[in-house]
Copies of this chain bind each other. A is one copy, B any other.
């Protein structure tokens, strides 16, 4: 806490010196317009960064980091702090060296350069991208202490790209083609099989995010956008699309991204991300720093099956619920921001949020999820999260009965 904050609360009759005394920033000169051709956040925001958890993976090359959602507001995620997941590291691939092949059950197998892609009609859409393993640590119980770590494998951007359908039509996809297999140019060869219905529906071959080129770590120059479906399918550095009559059953859709139930049987092809929400503030990394009185409780909600319709918030661990305010009507496969403008009495809270999407699906409790899926699913944990907010405003990740 700076001297100013102390002065503000103990201001003498003479007034707060930050007001009564001229400050250097109100007299001298700041930075010129040539100082930062491409700017970064101010130094005081240096804690609002992606973070990884060392012990989660064997190394940082095949690993993840987390979006600092506890410190963000609104719905757009800046590319600079949007989570990363690589299986072989983030690669540097120039537009000049970029090639995209379409082969398989098509009339003419084609090769596109990057420049070719920019000549097809483009679309713009805001979509969330959530890793299927987001909140995965919570299967075993409350573990990591912060919304960034429990729910930060998500971001939400405005994409510009060409519908996959357009490219498939250009190559002349054949009616025997029931699947497309999509694959990246990095050494992980990350490949996933997508049913043709989805491929022809809303999948984008994207080259811009939030107005500018994709960042290296998000697949520059071209990535796939698969609205509402698990992030692993959003293949980065996209290099090949094969139209096929059956799925490949690649490593990323058998060994990984399959969900083992309590009886040892595993679900496969669990593509859609279930409706989910989390309170981002207050939360362990965003404690209440003021006393009792007005408090804004806020968080994010999303669903891979369509638009968010409603979010409820509980302060007592799920005994009673209040419906929060959505900043805007929910949009399909995009993050919704919710607010509960409330009065805090200074006593402890067990904060929860519960999302409902346009299909009527209601985000389940941990107990409800475990009842169906057991503890070993790893992926698709969309449970209701609980933050225990204490009288001093600090919050902790807990599990409740």
Among the 9-residue stretches A59-67, A227-235, A359-367, the one with 4 or more Cβ atoms under 8 Å from chain B is A59-67
Q: Indicate whether A328 sits within 8 Å of B25 (C-beta atoms), given known contacts A39-B217, A50-B37, A59-B32.
A: no
- Residue in B2, B8, B77, B328 whose CB lies within 8 Å of A124: B328
Nearest CB to that of A81 among chain B residues? B38
- Residue in B27, B80, B89 whose CB lies within 8 Å of A32: B89
Complex contacts, A207 vs chain B, CB 8 Å:
73
- Residue in B34, B43, B76, B115 whose CB lies within 8 Å of A210: B76
Task: Give residues 249-285 of A contacting B (CB, 8 Å).
Answer: none
Complex contacts, A76 vs chain B, CB 8 Å:
76, 158, 210-211
B75 to A211, Cβ gap below 8 A? yes
* A130 contacts the other chain (CB 8 A): no
A294 to B327, Cβ gap below 8 A? no
The number of residues on chain A lying at the interface, defined by a beta carbon within 8 Å of a beta carbon of chain B, is: 110
* A10 contacts the other chain (CB 8 A): no
* A5 contacts the other chain (CB 8 A): yes
Q: Indicate whether A33 sits within 8 Å of B212 (C-beta atoms), given known contacts A25-B92, A80-B80.
A: no
Q: Indicate whether A19 sits within 8 Å of B115 (C-beta atoms), given known contacts A78-B210, A96-B5, A212-B78.
A: no
Q: How far is the CB of A205 from chain B (nearest CB, A)?
A: 14
- Residue in B26, B29, B122, B189 whose CB lies within 8 Å of A298: B122
B74 to A341, Cβ gap below 8 A? no
Complex contacts, A2 vs chain B, CB 8 Å:
94, 96-97
Nearest CB to that of A9 among chain B residues? B113
Q: Indicate whether A26 sits within 8 Å of B212 (C-beta atoms), given known contacts A32-B59, A37-B49, A79-B78.
A: no
Nearest CB to that of A49 among chain B residues? B37
A158 to B96, Cβ gap below 8 A? no
A74 to B210, Cβ gap below 8 A? yes
Complex contacts, A111 vs chain B, CB 8 Å:
8, 16, 19
Complex contacts, A357 vs chain B, CB 8 Å:
none
B23 to A97, Cβ gap below 8 A? yes
Give 13 CB contacts A-B under 8 Å.
Answer: A19-B111, A26-B186, A27-B187, A29-B187, A30-B86, A31-B89, A33-B84, A35-B60, A40-B80, A42-B92, A72-B212, A73-B122, A73-B207
